[in-house]
Structure 1
Amino acid sequence: MITMVRNVSRWFKVNRFMGKCTVIGVLLAFVAVACLGQLASVQLLNGKSTAQAATASRTKTVTISAKRGKILDTNGAVLAQSVERYNVVADPELAQTFVPTDCKEKTAGNCQQIDGQPVGTTGAAAVARLLAPILGMDAKELGALLSGTGQYVVLKKEVTPEVMRSIDDLGLNGCVYGELSSERLYSNGTLMGALLGGVNDEGAGVAGIEQMQNAVLTGTDGYKKYERGGEGVEIPGTVTESKDAVDGSDVELTIDANVDWYVKKVLSDAKEQYKADWAIAVVQDVQNGQILALEDTDQYEAGSDDAKLNTSRAVSQTFEPGSIGKVFSMAGMLQSGAHQLTDQFTVPGTITKNGQTFKDATQHGDEHWTLAGILEQSSNVGMVMAGENFSNEQRYEFLSKFGIGQDGLGLPGESDGVLTSAASWDGRTQNTVLFGQGYATNALQVTNAIATIANKGVKQQQSIIKSVTDANGHTEDAKTGEPTRVIDEQVASQMMNAMESSAEHYSKFAGVDGYRVAAKSGTAEVAGSDGRLTSIISDWSGIIPADNPRFVVTVVMKDPQGSYGGLTSGPVFKQISEFLMQKYEVPASTPRTDAIAVTW
């Protein structure tokens, strides 16, 4: 009986075991069938799409940055250029799997260590420790960036090629790499600071010439698509698509950096000598309207935030030109037939017109001056008297023809000045415009107006861009507007004669040995910080040599000690002109023999 019970029990245990085996076998069979089915699905039904997905996950598109064009002076000296830099980029996912290799005899040249010791950790922390001393960054800050999600994070921008090579030498298995970038460098500090302007973080011009010529200077980026391996490096022969970058064009200015540097120095010295608030100077080539120097005493470094936020004072500052404006009005009188330079006037110390009284800078009794003498003596009273046959409409017409109140170079922030219509002038303004008050201009406009007289009555379009050279080396000269005749050549010659007499009036202060000068000084009251007429503008614009005009130099100063333009801005003109005559080896002048009488 006991034996039977044992046999029955053994039978049940055997069958239970066999049942379990059967169940497990069936389950394994189902799993195998499912795996085979999935394998068939992947390889036979969805093989193509799966392969494409895998390729897509390995494919990377890299931007090939175009280099921004250079800005050069007229002699080819580099004023602004973009140099090779790299943005250091990391793949956080790869960085978090990084395991450094200890440096041993077998791993020499392909290992990582810090100060001769093992890195001591793995993943993002290890990468951060290795990078920190090279990038000059905190390891914790780097570790935080590398511990994020995704496959792309910028660790540091615009590192030098030397720094990038040091990173490559670390052997970080592709989790950190460099993207080619560039940095904008300016070679002359505050020279032409706000005039050159600067670029933003994206490399686009936002001020000055950088903004004015942005479309020309900016290149077109290229790209490259390739597959990368498990360590993030490019798989050779997997480039599927690429396009070369096209660098921006180089822009050559008419500015001569050597002249501009000297002008800046002279202005800075004059500001200190005369205790002026500021000073401006322009040097222009008479024959073609090209600007050789355009400076002020502001000390903004090109590319700095100050240069980006402030416009060059030389193009933005407006002022009443004072007695320099007498040149434009008198030229209009001659051109319209209202007067000749030999016309005789008895000029008192004051005159009342339309209920308004006008006076000269110095007190005097009745003087016998010709029209040329009125300019030589810079008489406001004489100009009002001469204006009798010169209508308001003619006064406005000739100021406009000479370029007053009009755009010059088209630079960002350049002021057009203010010249209201003749119909809006009150009883005083219609006469003050005869001697350079009642309207506002800038140094560029004054310079070109005087250059028009020097150029035999023909006004050139001013220019500061000389040429553009594209990435293929093709150079194209900049286009300028057509010249326009403002006054007849004979009238221009007569005005040169009168201006030469005016310059001789200040020859002790503003004369240039060996060279004849035709010029006019100006002094005008302007509003001070209190809004009242408590400030002085002192200016001087001169042509040298007068017998064979080459250059016009204009100098403007605010509140200099000495006030009168001939005594402050005149000596600055003298210094700049002496430099120009020497640099360009201009032949000395012939003696003057045809001076028009200034008295009678």
Structure 2
Amino acid sequence: MRLWKRLVNAIGEFGARSVLVMLVFAMVASTCIVRLVDVQLVNAKTYAQAAADTRTASMTIKANRGKIEDTNGTVLAQSVERYNIIGDAILAQQFKPVNCTAKKTKNCHSINGKPVGTTGAAAVARLISGLLGIDAKTLGAQLSTTSRYVVLKKNVSPEVKRKLDKLNLGWCVYARLSSVREYSNGTLMGSLLGGVNGQNTGVGGIEQMENKVLTGTDGSVTYQVGGGGQMIPGTQIDKKDEVDGSDVKLTIDADLDWYVKKALTDGVNQFHADWGIAVVQDVQTGAILALEDSDQIEAGSTEAMQRASRAVAETFEPGSVGKVFSMAGMLQLGLHKMTDQFSVPSTITVDGQDYKDSHEHGTSNWTLAGILQQSSNVGMIMAADKYTNEERYEFIKKFGIGQASGMNLPAESSGWLTPPSSWDGRTRNTVLFGQGYSTNALQITNAIAVIANKGVKNQQYIIKSVTDAEGHTTTAKHGEATRVVDESVAAQMLNAMESVGEYYKNETGIPGYRIAAKTGTAQVPGANGALTSIVADWVGVLPADNPRFVVTVILKDPEGTFGGMTAGPVFKTIGEFLMQKYQVPASAPRTDAIPVTW
């Protein structure tokens, strides 16, 4: 106050007020200068970046999922181009259509040649209603919110997208690239292929097993937008290209698999079975050429993603097919020769346990080969008098029983084979004829393939190759082959199995071709958990004189019970097609049959 009075006395009141105003302006100017220095010099980059961020947007460019093909390149699953139609409700409400005239025919709006008749969200809804097949009132309601991102319709075709582009709606309504997974063969390999979920992730089957390979890497594009959020043309700042997923080629032959599916389904109907399973394997390579069950599940469906293929997941006792593994072990250890002679009754008692053959017969003079041909449980027990528990277990295990196939198929069941230390007095004998342990269709197929492949066990595989987005193809790696029995042992077993094929030639014979086979029947738990159901199986080698294929057929509770009479005829149907499709030369006459009787 004293300073003010002195100033007034010195220069007068007007001059004092002028000085005060100048001081205030000086302070304001100083503040502006400090702020300007901060914005343009000290933190210039920070503020510039913030401004850029407010007008910059990014959009994800979705990568396509790779295809799944059969061995010949037939597409089994692929992602096809589709679009999701997106609406910006704020911009839609600001929309004003431009009427078309004789002079203005481009970048204008009309419906069937007439003016739209309204503005805003209602106008947008009228323009796109017929194209999207959605009621205009419904669309209008969706576009009357405050959302900048409204999904109006999913998965429309490229044709619809192109028509939408011609409506001149700018960014009120636009299309975002998407995709839909399509499966070309319906129920063929339904659960084996599996499906993909809403995030385009494989669930179940091959889709899940090869998800990492099939899944691509999304790209992105960054651009500047106007005040309304629309893209400013020519303002692309950055772009990262998407990389599509790799294509997976299977060993499966779709034509063969289709025929196997039909033969299996017909067989289930003919014999009134609950279900059926079939496998076709290449003897020399271990490649799976067909893998089917009788379930009618659409590939890509929810059920396909939730239920594994029976051919992969179902386990059962192999029954008399298991005699092949046990007998091969006896030969390998030198305990017997195929020509060894036995007088075999239809029943036997060992350590207080009674065993019997599938049918009554008088004491029969059979060689070891004859025991296999006649599928005698009693004969197997008699032949195994010097076969220790550890040896019995060792050879069943060597053939791959009770172990995963190594193909890593989702939900594959390994079955079970307990060590001999857990066996009781009965189990030690029932394992000789395929009871007391369980297997699946893949295991039993590869086990018989050991005999067909001169005693060598190949690693089964179903993935043939992988081709990346740049076209580079890599052949899938497989585990190494291992010898299970000597070549001479395998040859003797194959010879005896051919006698089985001859025994059932009326039901399973294929004119012009020799067949080596083994049939099996085993009790399995029924719906009530008791052993009231039957699994009938047949595993055959074609042709026996020059093995190329192993075919396994399994039926649950067929009318006719025995594998040779039910699963065997289905094998015949499949085998005839195989010989024709692959143009396999006819067999030479058999001249070296091992005697089955004495």
TM-score, with length taken from structure 2? 0.91
Q: Specify which of 251, 256, 263 is matched with residue 254 of structure 1.
A: 251
2:566 match: secondary structure: helix
2:497 match: secondary structure: helix
Letter in 2 for 1:465: I
Q: Retained in 2: the 8 A contact 1:42–1:50?
A: no
1:391 maps to 2:388:
yes
Letter in 2 for 1:215: K
2:54 match: secondary structure: helix
The structure-2 alpha-carbon separation of the partners of 1:245 and 1:37, relative to structure 1 and needing over 3 Å to count, comes to farther
Aligned to 1:501: 499
Aligned to 2:536: 538
Task: Give the Cα–Cα distance (whole angstroms) in 2 for the partners of residues 256 and 35 of structure 1.
Answer: 84
- Structure 1 residues 80-124: Cα deviation after superposition (integer angstroms, max 9, x where no partner): 111111121222222221112223334323222334443333222
- Structure 1 residues 374-431: Cα deviation after superposition (integer angstroms, max 9, x where no partner): 0010001111111111111111111111010111121001110111111111111111
Q: Specify which of 336, 347, 358 is matched with residue 350 of structure 1.
A: 347
Aligned to 1:217: 214
1:416 maps to 2:426:
no
Q: Retained in 2: the 8 A contact 1:198–1:205?
A: yes
1:189 maps to 2:186:
yes
1:502 to partner: Cα distance: 1.1
Aligned to 2:235: 238
Task: Give the Cα–Cα distance (whole angstroms) in 1 for the partners of residues 470 and 594 of structure 2.
Answer: 56
Task: Give the Cα–Cα distance (whole angstroms) in 2 for the partners of residues 33 and 161 of structure 1.
Answer: 65
Task: Give the Cα–Cα distance (whole angstroms) in 2 for the partners of residues 37 and 191 of structure 1.
Answer: 81
Q: Specify which of 173, 177, 180 is matched with residue 177 of structure 2.
A: 180
Q: Specify which of 485, 488, 502 is matched with residue 487 of structure 1.
A: 485
The structure-2 alpha-carbon separation of the partners of 1:154 and 1:315, relative to structure 1 and needing over 3 Å to count, comes to same
Letter in 2 for 1:456: K
Letter in 2 for 1:85: R
1:304-319 equivalence runs, <5 A: 304-319=301-316
The structure-2 alpha-carbon separation of the partners of 1:159 and 1:460, relative to structure 1 and needing over 3 Å to count, comes to same
Letter in 2 for 1:334: L
The structure-2 alpha-carbon separation of the partners of 1:34 and 1:360, relative to structure 1 and needing over 3 Å to count, comes to farther
Aligned to 2:123: 126
Q: Specify which of 67, 84, 98 is matched with residue 70 of structure 1.
A: 67
Structure 1 stretch 287-296 or stretch 424-433: which is displaced more?
Answer: 424-433
Task: Give the Cα–Cα distance (whole angstroms) in 1 for the partners of residues 422 and 175 of structure 2.
Answer: 64
Q: How many residues align?
A: 570
Q: Retained in 2: the 8 A contact 1:82–1:184?
A: yes
Aligned to 2:588: 590
1:513 to partner: Cα distance: 0.7
1:44 to partner: Cα distance: 7.5
Aligned to 1:552: 550
Aligned to 2:523: 525
The structure-2 alpha-carbon separation of the partners of 1:39 and 1:191, relative to structure 1 and needing over 3 Å to count, comes to farther
Letter in 1 for 2:277: I
Task: Give the Cα–Cα distance (whole angstroms) in 2 for the partners of residues 98 and 361 of structure 1.
Answer: 84
Structure 1 stretch 566-575 or stretch 94-103: which is displaced more?
Answer: 94-103
Task: Give the Cα–Cα distance (whole angstroms) in 2 for the partners of residues 391 and 525 of structure 1.
Answer: 25
Q: Retained in 2: the 8 A contact 1:94–1:175?
A: yes
Q: Retained in 2: the 8 A contact 1:190–1:301?
A: yes
Letter in 1 for 2:99: D
Q: Retained in 2: the 8 A contact 1:392–1:422?
A: yes
2:213 match: secondary structure: helix
Q: Specify which of 328, 336, 341 is matched with residue 338 of structure 2.
A: 341
Q: Specify which of 455, 458, 479 is matched with residue 457 of structure 1.
A: 455
The structure-2 alpha-carbon separation of the partners of 1:38 and 1:280, relative to structure 1 and needing over 3 Å to count, comes to farther
1:46 to partner: Cα distance: 4.1
1:326 maps to 2:328:
no
1:388 match: secondary structure: coil
Structure 1 stretch 462-471 or stretch 427-436: which is displaced more?
Answer: 427-436
Structure 1 stretch 340-349 or stretch 114-123: which is displaced more?
Answer: 114-123
Letter in 1 for 2:361: H
1:356 to partner: Cα distance: 1.4
Aligned to 1:578: 576
The structure-2 alpha-carbon separation of the partners of 1:539 and 1:292, relative to structure 1 and needing over 3 Å to count, comes to same
Letter in 1 for 2:435: Q
1:152 to partner: Cα distance: 2.3
Q: Retained in 2: the 8 A contact 1:175–1:232?
A: no
CA RMSD between the two structures: 2.2
Task: Give the Cα–Cα distance (whole angstroms) in 1 for the partners of residues 582 and 363 of structure 2.
Answer: 45
- Structure 1 residues 219-256: Cα deviation after superposition (integer angstroms, max 9, x where no partner): 00000101134565533332111110000000000000
Letter in 2 for 1:299: Q
Task: Give the Cα–Cα distance (whole angstroms) in 2 for the partners of residues 379 and 45 of structure 1.
Answer: 98
1:38 to partner: Cα distance: 11
Structure 1 stretch 350-359 or stretch 95-104: which is displaced more?
Answer: 95-104
1:339 to partner: Cα distance: 1.3
1:330 to partner: Cα distance: 0.4
Letter in 2 for 1:149: T
1:372 maps to 2:376:
no
Task: Give the Cα–Cα distance (whole angstroms) in 1 for the partners of residues 31 and 112 of structure 2.
Answer: 52
1:151 to partner: Cα distance: 2.5
Structure 2 unmatched ranges of 5 or more: 1-24
Letter in 2 for 1:286: V
